[in-house]
Amino acid sequence: MQQRRPARAAAASAAAASAAAASASAFAAAGDGDPDADAAAASLSSIERGGQLENGGRVHASLPTDTTSRRARRRRRRDDPRRRRSSFLRAPVPSRRRGRAGSGGIDADAAVRLLLVGFVLVLLCTMAAVRLQLRPGARYPGPGLAPDDDDGVDDGVDDDGPPSAGGRNPLGVRRRHGEREETEGGGGLVGRMKRGAAGIVDGLKDVGKRRKPCPESMGGIGDKSDAYYRLRQEIDAVLPIDQERTRRAVRDLRKREYLTKRPEDMGYSVTNCPMYPPAGYPHAWPTLELLEHWPPDDTTPRSHIHQGICVFDYETELEKARNYRAAEVPFVVRDDPAVLRAAERWNYPEYMGRLLGDVKHRTEYSPDNHFMYWMAPNPNPKKGKKVEQPGITGSKGRMPTPPEGWKPPTQMLRMDWKEWLGHANVTEDNLGPDKPHWYYRLIGCGKMGDGHCDKGSSEYIFDELPFFQPRHGGLYIVEPQRQKGIHCRFGMQGVIAENHFDGSRNSIAVMGGERRYVLSHPEQCSSLALYPKDHPSSRHSAVNWGAPDLDLYPEFTNAESNEIVLQAGDVLYL
């Protein structure tokens, strides 16, 4: 419409022009070779020369309102090439083929083109609607979140209807790949076209409504694809908002309770902390004492740990958590409803497989259970060239210069979810510090790198974990404009990420399992034997915490630390 308004404005101006202006337009139009336009131009020129026509006849004084002249002007405006260029249907044809002069009707060729275009558009829309109805989604494949395996065993799921009484998953689809489905409208092409037309109507009804895959989604970031929208509609229908059910489900994932070892050393209780951080918070013990009590390579839980960090209940102690955050000290928040809902969803059978699909993500391989971060070395140290970090585009930093004989401690791979799960789910005899381990990672870029910070980035993480969205006023993100994306790590039992520090705040939420953190105050850095800045593993401790070499690193004897074990639904603020 906006392209046609100038043409209408020009036509209106031409209609109000004087006879002299009409004469000028006619002369310009005469260059197109229109015989009627030539005759009109000759008549108007004769009037200007004295009112005599070439055949000797007289011209009536009412010429400006004469019907023939008005028709000629309409034809000139209609056949103006500048106007014809913007219209698909009004092809330039001689006026004698238009039937009655000045009728302005659509010629036969244009009508045929109109019918062909309409037919093609209807056919394409119908095919698209049928395809959408018959496919569950290319990115999130699969017939359902936990469908019947069709092995003859009744597992409580009815593929053709709602679950049976005791069924564990109501998300089975009504149609399996390769099977026929008798639905309203019948089978065959006609039935598909009917269903496709119905799908188009339903889609038109939803225009403007399907803008967010879930109510918690944030504009400008996240996954706005139709495939993710459909997947969230499925799971949200199965797990509607019910805080009590969600709380029970997540608490069932927590297998044990950890008590504080030597609580008399502290002047506070980690489960009932004061309104503001007390002096000396958080309390720390000698690091060697922690490691002797619970060696990092030993995955057997301990009933008592050296915990000095406060744990706040989200519903009753939110004000305390905000006070500790303002003081920039670590703490744990438990039972945030948004975190619990995400944990329940991620632990639902087969949901993660549907969510991740067959997209390959960053995977680190180590021949043992230790994972040391590293950057690619500089092939030409004199030039000080900058390089992107392994697997992360747009994250340039100065390339390090490794010591002689240095080798990468891990191998960077890419795997899909199913492949990594095959490595991670192994029996006890295949687990141990000296066994191979794989560390899986998803990256949601958000506004970092315009959403392209990593190949195959997982932008749906911002929809799945809305409590980590860069919003003002949230508890876990202090400066939303400086957020550096969301990294989700999936580790096998016994995986150790070597001791290090990060240059920014961190909030860590655990969706399942347990994760032990050994923490030290920044003033302890001088005792932790950190690699220098130009080392490939800078910011990381050179000490093997599983077997510290105190002869090589005597300063480690002075280090102090505390520890915390995070479980499903916990968020650690650092």
Taking only the tens place, the pLDDT of each residue in 224-241 is 999 999 999 999 999 999
* CA 101 vs CA 78, 143, 193: distances in Å: 12, 63, 43
Type of residue found at 542: A
Residue 321 has pLDDT above 70, yes or no: yes
Supply the pLDDT for residue 380: 65
pLDDT digits (tens, 9 = 90+) for 464-476: 999 999 999 999 9
What's the length of the chain? Answer: 574
d(CA 295, CA 300): 9
Is residue 527 classed exposed, middle or buried when 0-12, 13-18 and 19+ CB atoms within 10 A define those classes?
Answer: buried
**193 token code pair:** 């076209």
- What is the pLDDT confidence band of residue 463, given thresholds at 50, 70 and 90? very high
Task: Give pLDDT, residue 198.
Answer: 60
Q: What proportion of the chain, given as a percentage, has pLDDT over 90?
A: 51
Give the C-alpha distances (Å, rounded to integers) separating 504 from 447, 471, 474, 507, 508: 17, 17, 17, 10, 13
Tell me, what's the pLDDT at 449?
A: 64
- What does the pLDDT look like over 374-421, one tens digit per residue? 998 866 655 555 544 443 434 455 678 888 889 999 999 999 999 999
Give the separation between CA 334 and CA 317, rounded to whole angstroms: 10
| Contact (Cβ atoms closer than 8 angstroms) between residue 338 and residue 467 | yes
Q: What pLDDT, on the 0 to 100 scale, is given for residue 43?
A: 32
pLDDT score at 400: 83
Cβ neighbours around 289 below 10 Å, total:
13
Residue 446, pLDDT > 70, answer yes
**CB 416 within 8 Å of CB 394:** no
Q: Identity (one letter) of the amino acid at 286? A: P
- The token pair at 171 is 């998300």
Q: Name residue, tokens 């019907």.
A: 67
Q: Find residue 313's DSSP bridge partners.
A: 334
Residue 146, helix vs strand vs coil: coil
Mean pLDDT of 314-320: 97
Higher pLDDT, residue 441 or 164: 441
Average pLDDT for the chain: 75
The pLDDT-based confidence of 188 (bands split at 50, 70, 90) is: low
pLDDT number for residue 129:
56
160-169, 319-328, 445-454: range with highest mean pLDDT? 319-328
Cα distance from N-terminal residue to C-terminal residue, the chain: 55
Mean pLDDT of 278-306: 96
Per-residue pLDDT, averaged over 269-273, amounts to 96
Dmax over Cα atoms in the chain, in whole Å? Answer: 125
More confident residue, 437 or 88: 437
Does the structure show a pLDDT above 80 at 14?
no
Predicted confidence band of residue 167 (pLDDT cuts 50, 70, 90): very low
- Assessment of whether the complete model's pTM goes beyond 0.75: no
Cα–Cα distances in angstroms (integers) from residue 520 to residues 92, 267, 269, 286, 501, in the given order: 82, 19, 19, 10, 9
Q: Read off the pLDDT band of 204 (50, 70, 90).
A: low
Instruction: Locate 320 and state its tokens.
Output: 């305390």
pLDDT at residue 171, rounded to an integer: 42
Question: Does residue 532 have a pLDDT over 90?
Answer: yes
- Tell how strand 361-366 and strand 437-444 pair up: antiparallel
319-339 core/surface letters (b: 16 or more CB in 10 A; e: else): ebbebbbeeebbbbbbbbebb
- Given a cut of 80, whether residue 83 has pLDDT beyond it is no
Lowest pLDDT segment from 118-132, 153-167, 205-219, 425-439: 153-167
HSE toward the beta carbon, residue 183, CA cutoff 13 A: 17
pLDDT at residue 456 in the model: 78
**128-137, 172-181, 305-314, 440-449: which has the minimum mean pLDDT?**
172-181
Q: What is the number of alpha carbons within 13 Å of residue 542 lying toward its C-beta?
A: 17
User: How much is the pLDDT for 214?
Assistant: 84
The answer to whether 445 and 485 are in contact (CB under 8 A) is yes
pLDDT at 7 over 50: no
Q: Can you tell me the distance from the alpha carbon of 500 to that of 496, in angstroms, rounded to the nearest whole number?
A: 12
pLDDT grade for 190, boundaries at 50, 70 and 90:
low
Question: DSSP character for 557?
Answer: G
**456 or 543: which leads in pLDDT:** 543
Fill in the amino acid letter for 399. M
Burial 535-546 (b: 16+ CB within 10 A, else e): bbbbbbbbbbbe
Mean pLDDT of 342-349: 97
